[in-house]
Structure formats: structure tokens, C-alpha cells
Amino acid sequence: MRNFRTRNLFRSFRGPLAIACAVLAAGFFWKSHAGQAAAITYTGVSVQPSQQIFAVMCALDAAGFGADEDTLSEMPARLALRADLLKIQGPTADAIRLFYRTHAMANSAETLSRYIAFALAVGPPPSFSFQMDRDLLPPDVVSIEDFQPLLANFSKAIHLDNGWARVVAEYEPAVAKLQGPVQNIVTIANGYTRTLSSQSYGTTFTVFVEPLVGTRTVFRNFGDHYSIVVGAGSVVPTDDIRHAYLHFLLDPLPLRDRLLLNKKGALLDVAARAPQLPPEYQNDFDALADECLVKAVELRMRKLPPDQTESVLKEDDQSGFILVRTFFLELLAFEKQPLSLSAFFPAMVSAINVDAERKRLQSVDFIAAPPLSGSTHAVAPAAGQTAPLDSLLAQGDHQIAMRDALGAVATFENILKQYPGEPRATYGLAVASILSGDGERAKELFERLVSPGGPVTSEGQSKSILVEASDSSITAWSHVYLGRLYDVEGDRDVAVGEYKAALAVTGAPESARVAAQRGADAPYAPTAAPAEDSTQKP
């Protein structure tokens, strides 16, 4: 999914033999630990291990996460290191274990997903600093942002860099094993869609190998950088890698042709009635169309018998992916003409007959949602079970992460109509207003969150707080944002007061405190701010 289209899993594809050969000629290399080969070529694709993912998995090991060690039979050094990690004692290990226990999800796959997403968002040791504006981070990464200093301390305390040096050579056979299948996926997908290269667009697609993820697959993308993390088992997760790669190729199309696609947006109301439609598609027609396009291309490439094809299309309809059938049929026309899928996509969108589809879908029986789990632990809701408010908030967060300012503004305004005064929606609308260039509106919204009567004083004394004490992250970051807005306006005294107010918020996340302290020490300079100074979404 574009930036915060951070799905946990995906799948992928493209056309003619001459183009496929051209893709191969462009080159595809994996990067070894010594870096002898180029990591990224004209295709923008690479297969490699990651020291950040390794470090996070080591920390999870020490914390008690049930990692899959079945894939370590041919990695004796990695297996020995894992045994040592389970025995580690001391304050840094205790801090990691406490954090893990208090942030664990009932579903181990969800727990793994958020930590892998974290690993993909941070840079190398020793600091593991976030490598992007924190406003671009998905909410599940933000929810464990304070893991970053704990990981840095843990890595330093146990000299994890030495552990990496001992085991990294053992990753090379797994990387080499994946190189051929990934190259085959790239060749076929580029061939079907008639795409020569994605590197010219500045996008990258990386397959990271980490044996301890086992058979689970985690796919994320941050802006133009797509990553899928796979294990090192005997079975290559070809379907998942292909789906992810197709998103890498096709995600730009619905975004590029949004105005044309929005003319068909009335169909979202039909799709949203499907209990099994994942929350990220229930309020975003672009995202729904994107996923349906990928599914349709996959299905065309599989070349199933007619009865099996119809069975898949029926299941997609019943699950809420109602555009798959139309796109699938339009791909028949695409295959008979010379244009690339990128050039042909507007015609596919134009072919969607809203009235005819509404009539067709009246006879579709949507699949019921699975029963709710009886667990009392925190766990991500199953598809179709997300509360309406949470689903809408997640959609707004997604749009902010995608830098879709207008879409985010509309989403949060809609939430506030349904849930007047909701602090998270007010905060989201304020951030979206900044993205859209409406600083005055953003300031008014942030001040409403922390001080209904106006801004805080230069001494850091704020008036009554509208949000609950548990929303300390919203309160602290609202003060930080206000400080930056006043800094930009040249009102340094009021800006300092806001930064001090942020520092005074009980329970404020460490990232907000760091940002506030930096703001208090020196005026905010948006054009020069490094990644570590970026603002935070609570």
C-alpha cells in the first residue's frame, strides 16, 4: 500500500518476451555481507539480510517471543546466539522484557508484524534512529516508538554488532536461494504489465531474509520503498513475494488516476457492507481499487481453468473486493493490444459501470465475519470487526502517511461530524491541516486540544486540557507542534512556552520530550530539520 498502506502481506505481476529479456539484461543482484555486488540495480530490486531486523529479532528472543528456530538447522552460529540471548540477564534485558510484555498482542503474527515494521523504519546501529519523518510512520510503529532507545541500549550492552559479524555469513545461502525465484517473479511481472523498469521512479523493492520469522511473511512500504521480510525455510513464499512486487509496480496507478477513479467511488458503499473487507479498504476507494487491480492481475497470470477462475472471482465479490471481476475482464482486452498496463489503466477505470455493478452486486451474499475471539489481551481486530471509529481513524492516519492532505482532512472532518470533540480526530485534522498548508487552522485545533482559551504562556503554563490523561502523547505533541508553528511565525517567546509545556506533560513519550527540548534550545527550522527532529504521530 503506498506509505502507510503497510499491509502485513501482499502478492504481485507483467508482459511480452522481448520486454522480459530486457528486464533480465538490466541486471539483478543480491548484496552479500561484504557488499561485493550492487544491492540495487536498474530494476530497483534486491535480496539481502538486514542488521536492523536481526537486532530486533534478537531483542524479541531475549524478551521471550516465540520465534521460529526450525530454519536455523543450517545456521549453527545463529542458533548458538539465540541460545545465549535466552539466558541474558541484567537491566537492559529486563527493560526489553518489560516493554515486550506490556506491548504484546494476543496474536503473535500481529506482534511480529509491528516489530518488523519498526525494524524497517529505523537505521543501523548503534542509534537505530528513525529514517523518516515520524508523521510518515504507521500507527502500529508509533505505538512502540519507545522501543528504539531500549534496542539501542540492549544492542550496545551485549555487543550485538559482534554477534552480527559472527552470523551474517550464514545468511548468504538463504539469500542466494531466493535470488532465482525473485528474479523470475520480477521478469514475469514486468513482462505481463509491460514495464521495463521501476528504478527511474526512485522506488525500491527489497526482499529481506530473516530466518526467525519462520513461515510468516511481513510486507511493508514506506513511501517509495517496499520491503517484504521472509524466512529461510525450504519453501519459498512465492505468492507473497509476487503479490508484494505487484503492489510495488501497480500502486502508483490508482493514485495517479485518482480523479477518474473517484467518479466510480459510489461503489465503495457497496464494498464496505462486506463484513470480511479489511478496515483499510472500507473508507478508501483508491486503496480498494489498488488491491482489486493486483488481485485481478494475479488471477490472469495464474491461468486457472474457467471453473476455478469463477470460484476465485465469486469469493472476491463475497469478501468485498468487488472490482476484481471488472478489472479481470478488462485485462482480456489489455492483453490484445500493445500498451503498457500503466497506459491502459485509465481505460480499465472508465469501463467500470457503476449502475450495472450495483445491480450485479445486489445478488451477492457477503461472507460473514469470523466470530470474535474470547481473549482479553490487546489484539488487532479481525477483518470486518474493527470499530467504526477506529477504522476511520486508521484511514486518516493512512492518508497522512501517504501525504494525502485533502483526503486526510476530509476523513477527520467526517469523524468529527460523527464523534464531536474526539481528541484523536482533532489531532489528526490538525496534522492534516499542516500538510495542506493551513497553519492557522492547525494552530486553532492544537490549541483546542491543550488550551481552549488560547496558547500557553511563555512560562509554559497551559490552561485546561481537553484530552484524557491517557492521551499524554496527543497533548505533548500538540504543544510541540504549536511551538514549531509559533517558531515559524517568529514568536519565539510563545514557542518556548509551548515546548516547556510539552516537557511538563506527565507520561509524554520520549520522542516528544526530545523534540520539545530541542525546540526549547533552538528555534525550529523546518527546512533544515534532520530525520530525528521530525514530528510524531501519537
Q: What is the DSSP string of 74-129?
A: T-HHHHHHHHHHHH--SHHHHHHHHHHHHH--SSHHHHHHHHHHHHHHB--TTT--
Give the model's pLDDT for residue 510: 66
If asked whether residues 424 and 494 sit together in one domain, one would say yes
Residue 111 has a pLDDT of 87
Question: 82 and 220 share a domain?
Answer: no
Here the CATH number for the domain that contains residue 447 is: 1.25.40.10
C-alpha angle 79-39-128 in degrees, rounded to nearest 5: 60
Q: On the CB side of 493, how many CA atoms lie within 13 Å of its CA?
A: 3
> Residue 110 falls within a domain, yes or no?
yes
Q: What is the pLDDT of residue 534?
A: 36
The pLDDT assigned to 517 comes to 87
181 and 35 together in one domain = yes
Its domain, for residue 299, covers 256-355
In a domain, 376, yes or no: no
pTM of the model as a whole? 0.67
* Residue 274 to residues 123, 346, 356, Cα–Cα distance (Å): 39, 26, 18
User: Phi, psi at residue 103, to the nearest 5°?
Assistant: -120, 5
The answer as to whether 389 is a domain residue is no
CA distance 160 to 152: 10
> Would you say residue 216 lies in a domain?
yes
Considering the domain boundaries, does residue 40 fall inside one?
A: yes
Instruction: Please give the distance of CA 321 from its chain centroid, rounded to a whole number.
Output: 20
Gap between the Cα atoms of 59 and 363, Å rounded: 51
Asked if 313 and 220 sit in the same domain, the reply is: no
Do 73 and 158 have their domain in common? yes
Q: What's the rounded Cα separation, in Å, for the pair 42 and 129?
A: 28
Q: Is residue 374, in this structure, part of any structural domain at all?
A: no
- In the block, which residue shows the cell 493551513? 438
Residue 76: inside a domain: yes
Q: Which of 169, 201, 234 is the last residue of a domain?
A: 169
> Is 433 among the domain residues?
yes
Whether 412 and 446 map to the same domain: the answer is yes
Q: Which residues contact 166 (CB under 8 A, 6 or more apart)?
A: 77, 81
Residues 35 and 183 in one domain: yes
- Whole-number pLDDT of residue 4: 35
On whether both 56 and 44 belong to a single domain, the answer is: no
Q: Which three cell numbers stand for residue 190?
A: 514486468
Domain count, the chain: 4
Whether 337 and 444 map to the same domain: the answer is no
Q: Do 230 and 313 share a domain, yes or no?
A: no
List the grid coordinates of 155: 544492542
Residue 468: strand, helix, or coil: coil
Residues 460 and 427 in one domain: yes
| Mean pLDDT, contiguous 10-residue spans, the chain (538 residues) | 38 28 32 37 81 94 76 81 84 89 81 92 92 78 90 93 92 92 94 74 86 88 89 88 94 92 93 88 90 96 93 95 97 96 96 95 84 35 48 74 77 88 88 87 90 44 40 84 90 91 81 80 64 39
The x, y and z cell numbers of residue 316, run together, are 472476491
How far out from the chain centre does Cα 75 lie? 30
Task: Determine the pLDDT at residue 222.
Answer: 84
Domain boundary among 190, 218, 251: 251
Domain boundary among 169, 190, 212: 169
Quick one: 306 and 322 in the same domain? yes
